[in-house]
Amino acid sequence: MTAYKVLFLDIDGTILKPDDTIEGSTKHAIAEVKKKGLEVFLATGRPLHEIAHIANELTIDSFIGYNGAYAIHKGKDIFKSPMNEKTVRNFVDIAKKNDHELVLYTHEKNIFSDLNSSIVKEFIEAFHIKQNEPFSSDALQQILGITLMNLSENEPALYEQEEPSIHLSQVNVDGLRHAYDVIRDNVNKGIAVQHIIELLDLPRSSSIAFGDGMNDKEMLSFVGEGFAMGNAHPDLFQYAKHTTTKVTESGIYNGLKSIGLID
Protein backbone atom coordinates (compact mmCIF):
# COMPACT_ATOMS: atom_id res chain seq x y z
CA MET A 1 0.00 0.00 0.00
CA THR A 2 1.28 3.47 -0.91
CA ALA A 3 2.37 5.57 2.05
CA TYR A 4 0.55 8.86 1.53
CA LYS A 5 2.41 11.93 2.77
CA VAL A 6 0.75 15.11 1.49
CA LEU A 7 -2.79 16.32 0.79
CA PHE A 8 -3.73 19.36 -1.32
CA LEU A 9 -7.24 20.79 -0.94
CA ASP A 10 -8.98 23.39 -3.05
CA ILE A 11 -11.27 25.69 -1.04
CA ASP A 12 -14.41 26.87 -2.86
CA GLY A 13 -16.67 23.99 -3.81
CA THR A 14 -14.25 21.49 -2.26
CA ILE A 15 -13.87 22.48 1.39
CA LEU A 16 -16.42 25.30 1.49
CA LYS A 17 -20.06 24.54 0.78
CA PRO A 18 -22.26 27.07 -1.10
CA ASP A 19 -23.29 28.59 2.24
CA ASP A 20 -19.60 29.19 3.11
CA THR A 21 -19.55 26.62 5.90
CA ILE A 22 -17.40 23.50 6.28
CA GLU A 23 -19.01 20.12 6.91
CA GLY A 24 -18.17 18.38 10.15
CA SER A 25 -17.09 15.32 8.16
CA THR A 26 -14.54 17.46 6.27
CA LYS A 27 -13.06 18.81 9.50
CA HIS A 28 -12.90 15.30 10.92
CA ALA A 29 -11.23 13.89 7.80
CA ILE A 30 -8.56 16.60 7.77
CA ALA A 31 -7.85 16.15 11.48
CA GLU A 32 -7.54 12.38 11.02
CA VAL A 33 -5.02 12.53 8.16
CA LYS A 34 -2.97 15.10 10.07
CA LYS A 35 -2.82 12.66 12.99
CA LYS A 36 -1.40 10.11 10.57
CA GLY A 37 1.41 12.50 9.67
CA LEU A 38 0.22 13.91 6.32
CA GLU A 39 1.12 17.47 5.41
CA VAL A 40 -2.05 19.37 4.44
CA PHE A 41 -2.01 22.35 2.06
CA LEU A 42 -4.86 24.62 1.08
CA ALA A 43 -4.49 25.07 -2.70
CA THR A 44 -6.63 27.93 -3.95
CA GLY A 45 -7.09 30.62 -6.53
CA ARG A 46 -7.87 32.99 -3.69
CA PRO A 47 -5.35 35.52 -2.38
CA LEU A 48 -3.72 34.15 0.75
CA HIS A 49 -4.40 37.31 2.75
CA GLU A 50 -8.13 36.46 2.52
CA ILE A 51 -8.15 32.86 3.83
CA ALA A 52 -6.79 33.18 7.39
CA HIS A 53 -10.20 32.37 8.92
CA ILE A 54 -10.43 29.11 6.93
CA ALA A 55 -6.85 28.16 7.79
CA ASN A 56 -7.48 28.85 11.47
CA GLU A 57 -10.68 26.81 11.51
CA LEU A 58 -8.83 23.81 10.04
CA THR A 59 -5.48 24.46 11.81
CA ILE A 60 -3.54 24.54 8.54
CA ASP A 61 -0.41 26.64 7.99
CA SER A 62 0.73 25.55 4.49
CA PHE A 63 -0.72 27.05 1.33
CA ILE A 64 -0.73 27.42 -2.43
CA GLY A 65 -2.43 30.67 -3.40
CA TYR A 66 -3.22 32.72 -6.48
CA ASN A 67 -3.60 29.55 -8.57
CA GLY A 68 -0.01 28.52 -7.93
CA ALA A 69 1.82 31.84 -7.92
CA TYR A 70 2.70 31.85 -4.21
CA ALA A 71 3.35 28.99 -1.80
CA ILE A 72 3.97 28.78 1.93
CA HIS A 73 5.06 25.73 3.96
CA LYS A 74 4.50 25.83 7.72
CA GLY A 75 4.39 29.61 7.69
CA LYS A 76 7.53 30.09 5.58
CA ASP A 77 7.56 31.32 1.98
CA ILE A 78 8.57 28.74 -0.62
CA PHE A 79 8.21 30.78 -3.80
CA LYS A 80 6.41 33.79 -5.27
CA SER A 81 5.92 34.35 -9.02
CA PRO A 82 4.43 37.72 -10.02
CA MET A 83 2.91 38.10 -13.48
CA ASN A 84 4.70 39.90 -16.29
CA GLU A 85 3.86 43.60 -15.97
CA LYS A 86 3.30 43.95 -19.72
CA THR A 87 0.77 41.11 -19.65
CA VAL A 88 -1.07 42.72 -16.75
CA ARG A 89 -1.24 46.05 -18.57
CA ASN A 90 -2.50 44.34 -21.74
CA PHE A 91 -5.26 42.58 -19.81
CA VAL A 92 -6.30 45.81 -18.10
CA ASP A 93 -6.57 47.47 -21.52
CA ILE A 94 -8.58 44.59 -23.03
CA ALA A 95 -10.96 44.58 -20.08
CA LYS A 96 -11.52 48.33 -20.35
CA LYS A 97 -12.23 48.16 -24.11
CA ASN A 98 -14.77 45.34 -23.67
CA ASP A 99 -16.62 46.54 -20.56
CA HIS A 100 -15.18 43.73 -18.45
CA GLU A 101 -14.35 44.10 -14.77
CA LEU A 102 -11.28 42.65 -13.10
CA VAL A 103 -9.48 42.20 -9.83
CA LEU A 104 -5.69 42.18 -9.58
CA TYR A 105 -4.24 40.38 -6.57
CA THR A 106 -1.01 41.37 -4.82
CA HIS A 107 0.28 39.52 -1.75
CA GLU A 108 -1.62 41.93 0.50
CA LYS A 109 -4.56 43.54 -1.36
CA ASN A 110 -7.19 43.15 -4.08
CA ILE A 111 -7.25 45.91 -6.70
CA PHE A 112 -10.61 46.23 -8.48
CA SER A 113 -11.33 48.01 -11.74
CA ASP A 114 -14.56 49.52 -10.31
CA LEU A 115 -15.62 48.98 -6.72
CA ASN A 116 -19.04 50.46 -7.49
CA SER A 117 -19.87 47.93 -10.22
CA SER A 118 -22.74 45.59 -9.30
CA ILE A 119 -20.80 42.61 -10.71
CA VAL A 120 -17.78 43.51 -8.59
CA LYS A 121 -19.98 43.86 -5.50
CA GLU A 122 -21.46 40.39 -6.15
CA PHE A 123 -17.94 38.95 -6.48
CA ILE A 124 -16.76 40.57 -3.24
CA GLU A 125 -19.84 39.29 -1.40
CA ALA A 126 -19.50 35.77 -2.81
CA PHE A 127 -15.90 35.41 -1.57
CA HIS A 128 -16.14 37.68 1.50
CA ILE A 129 -12.92 39.44 0.60
CA LYS A 130 -11.94 42.50 2.61
CA GLN A 131 -8.63 44.02 1.50
CA ASN A 132 -10.13 45.83 -1.50
CA GLU A 133 -8.83 48.97 -3.19
CA PRO A 134 -9.74 50.90 -6.35
CA PHE A 135 -7.59 50.47 -9.44
CA SER A 136 -4.15 52.05 -9.45
CA SER A 137 -1.28 51.34 -11.82
CA ASP A 138 1.27 51.64 -9.01
CA ALA A 139 1.23 47.91 -8.15
CA LEU A 140 1.16 46.37 -11.63
CA GLN A 141 4.62 44.83 -11.21
CA GLN A 142 3.44 43.01 -8.04
CA ILE A 143 0.41 41.16 -9.43
CA LEU A 144 0.24 37.47 -8.51
CA GLY A 145 -3.12 36.71 -10.11
CA ILE A 146 -6.11 38.12 -11.97
CA THR A 147 -9.81 37.31 -12.08
CA LEU A 148 -11.87 38.73 -14.96
CA MET A 149 -15.62 39.35 -14.69
CA ASN A 150 -18.58 40.03 -17.00
CA LEU A 151 -17.22 37.87 -19.83
CA SER A 152 -19.53 36.07 -22.23
CA GLU A 153 -18.74 32.49 -23.22
CA ASN A 154 -16.61 33.38 -26.27
CA GLU A 155 -14.74 36.33 -24.77
CA PRO A 156 -11.90 34.47 -22.97
CA ALA A 157 -10.38 34.18 -26.47
CA LEU A 158 -9.72 37.94 -26.43
CA TYR A 159 -7.14 37.40 -23.70
CA GLU A 160 -5.85 33.98 -24.76
CA GLN A 161 -5.05 35.25 -28.26
CA GLU A 162 -3.08 38.12 -26.75
CA GLU A 163 -1.03 35.79 -24.53
CA PRO A 164 -0.90 32.19 -25.88
CA SER A 165 0.89 30.96 -22.73
CA ILE A 166 -2.17 31.87 -20.66
CA HIS A 167 -5.65 30.36 -20.51
CA LEU A 168 -8.79 31.42 -18.68
CA SER A 169 -10.54 29.08 -16.25
CA GLN A 170 -14.23 29.60 -15.48
CA VAL A 171 -14.95 30.13 -11.78
CA ASN A 172 -17.03 27.13 -10.62
CA VAL A 173 -19.35 29.06 -8.30
CA ASP A 174 -23.08 29.46 -8.89
CA GLY A 175 -23.94 32.99 -10.02
CA LEU A 176 -20.35 33.75 -11.06
CA ARG A 177 -20.07 31.80 -14.31
CA HIS A 178 -19.19 35.09 -16.01
CA ALA A 179 -15.95 35.17 -13.97
CA TYR A 180 -12.67 33.61 -15.11
CA ASP A 181 -9.32 33.10 -13.38
CA VAL A 182 -6.22 33.82 -15.44
CA ILE A 183 -3.99 30.72 -15.44
CA ARG A 184 -0.39 30.71 -16.65
CA ASP A 185 0.89 27.55 -18.36
CA ASN A 186 4.08 27.68 -16.30
CA VAL A 187 2.48 28.93 -13.06
CA ASN A 188 -0.51 26.93 -11.84
CA LYS A 189 -1.56 24.64 -9.02
CA GLY A 190 0.00 21.60 -10.70
CA ILE A 191 3.41 23.24 -11.10
CA ALA A 192 3.23 24.45 -7.50
CA VAL A 193 2.42 20.94 -6.24
CA GLN A 194 5.37 19.57 -8.22
CA HIS A 195 7.72 22.13 -6.62
CA ILE A 196 6.43 21.32 -3.15
CA ILE A 197 6.76 17.53 -3.33
CA GLU A 198 10.27 17.93 -4.75
CA LEU A 199 11.13 20.30 -1.91
CA LEU A 200 9.76 17.84 0.64
CA ASP A 201 11.60 15.00 -1.16
CA LEU A 202 8.45 12.94 -1.57
CA PRO A 203 7.41 10.55 -4.34
CA ARG A 204 4.64 11.78 -6.61
CA SER A 205 2.60 8.69 -5.71
CA SER A 206 2.39 9.87 -2.09
CA SER A 207 0.38 12.99 -3.00
CA ILE A 208 -3.41 13.43 -2.96
CA ALA A 209 -5.55 16.34 -4.15
CA PHE A 210 -9.21 17.32 -4.26
CA GLY A 211 -10.74 20.00 -6.50
CA ASP A 212 -13.87 21.08 -8.34
CA GLY A 213 -12.87 23.77 -10.84
CA MET A 214 -10.93 23.88 -14.09
CA ASN A 215 -8.14 25.72 -12.27
CA ASP A 216 -7.58 22.37 -10.49
CA LYS A 217 -6.98 20.29 -13.60
CA GLU A 218 -3.15 20.52 -13.55
CA MET A 219 -3.07 19.66 -9.85
CA LEU A 220 -5.41 16.67 -10.17
CA SER A 221 -3.49 15.42 -13.20
CA PHE A 222 -0.14 15.57 -11.42
CA VAL A 223 -0.78 14.00 -8.00
CA GLY A 224 -0.82 10.30 -7.31
CA GLU A 225 -4.48 10.34 -6.27
CA GLY A 226 -6.56 13.11 -7.83
CA PHE A 227 -10.22 13.48 -6.79
CA ALA A 228 -12.85 15.52 -8.62
CA MET A 229 -15.74 16.52 -6.38
CA GLY A 230 -19.21 15.37 -7.41
CA ASN A 231 -20.13 19.03 -7.97
CA ALA A 232 -17.09 19.66 -10.18
CA HIS A 233 -17.14 21.45 -13.52
CA PRO A 234 -18.18 18.81 -16.10
CA ASP A 235 -14.89 19.17 -17.97
CA LEU A 236 -12.77 18.43 -14.89
CA PHE A 237 -13.62 14.73 -14.44
CA GLN A 238 -11.34 13.62 -17.29
CA TYR A 239 -8.31 15.00 -15.41
CA ALA A 240 -9.00 13.15 -12.14
CA LYS A 241 -8.17 9.56 -11.26
CA HIS A 242 -11.21 9.41 -8.94
CA THR A 243 -14.63 11.01 -8.55
CA THR A 244 -16.02 11.50 -5.05
CA THR A 245 -19.33 12.83 -3.74
CA LYS A 246 -20.34 16.50 -3.64
CA VAL A 247 -18.96 19.06 -1.20
CA THR A 248 -22.37 18.94 0.52
CA GLU A 249 -22.21 15.13 0.72
CA SER A 250 -18.91 14.54 2.56
CA GLY A 251 -16.82 14.49 -0.62
CA ILE A 252 -13.42 14.82 1.06
CA TYR A 253 -14.27 12.32 3.79
CA ASN A 254 -15.60 9.76 1.30
CA GLY A 255 -12.63 10.18 -1.02
CA LEU A 256 -10.06 9.68 1.73
CA LYS A 257 -12.03 6.70 3.03
CA SER A 258 -12.02 5.11 -0.42
CA ILE A 259 -8.21 4.93 -0.41
CA GLY A 260 -8.06 3.62 3.15
CA LEU A 261 -6.77 6.73 4.89
CA ILE A 262 -9.69 7.08 7.29
CA ASP A 263 -12.34 4.71 8.64
- Clarify whether residues 153 and 127 are in a common domain: yes
* Residue numbers in the chain where pLDDT is lower than 50: 1
- Clarify whether residues 91 and 179 are in a common domain: yes
- Clarify whether residues 108 and 224 are in a common domain: no
User: Cα–Cα distance between 172 and 27 in angstroms, integer?
Assistant: 22
The CATH number of whichever domain residue 141 belongs to comes to: 3.30.1240.10
- Clarify whether residues 44 and 89 are in a common domain: no
Give the DSSP per-residue string, the chain: -----EEEE--BTTTB-TTS-B-HHHHHHHHHHHHTT-EEEEE-SS-GGG-HHHHHHHT---EEEGGGTEEEETTEEEEE-PPPHHHHHHHHHHHHHTT-EEEEE-SS-EEES-TT-HHHHHHHHHHT---EEE--GGGGGG--EEEEES--TTTHHHHHHH-TTEEEEE--STT-TT-EEEEETTBSHHHHHHHHHHHTT--GGGEEEEE-SGGGHHHHHHSSEEEE-TTS-TTTGGG-SEE---GGGTHHHHHHHHTTS--
Domain boundary among 184, 203, 237: 184
User: Cα–Cα distance between 110 and 14 in angstroms, integer?
Assistant: 23
Domain boundary among 184, 202, 225: 184
Backbone angles phi, psi at 169, to 5 degrees: -120, 120
- Clarify whether residues 92 and 178 are in a common domain: yes
Which pLDDT belongs to residue 175?
A: 84
- Clarify whether residues 137 and 70 are in a common domain: no
- Clarify whether residues 49 and 97 are in a common domain: no
- Clarify whether residues 91 and 164 are in a common domain: yes
95 in a structural domain: yes
User: Cα–Cα distance between 216 and 119 in angstroms, integer?
Assistant: 24
Buried b (16+ CB within 10 A) or exposed e, 219-251: bbebbbbbbbbbbbbeebeebbeeebbebeebb
Domain boundary among 159, 184, 209: 184
Residue-number span of the structural domain to which 235 is assigned: 6-80+187-258
- Clarify whether residues 192 and 180 are in a common domain: no
263 in a structural domain: no
- Clarify whether residues 97 and 18 are in a common domain: no
47 in a structural domain: yes
- Clarify whether residues 203 and 119 are in a common domain: no
* Number of domains making up the chain: 2
List, for residues 175-192, the tens digit of each pLDDT value. Answer: 898 999 999 999 999 999
The CATH number of whichever domain residue 206 belongs to comes to: 3.40.50.1000
91 in a structural domain: yes
The model's pTM is: 0.91
- Clarify whether residues 141 and 191 are in a common domain: no
Which pLDDT belongs to residue 1?
A: 42
List, for residues 140-168, the tens digit of each pLDDT value. Answer: 999 999 999 999 999 999 999 989 999 99
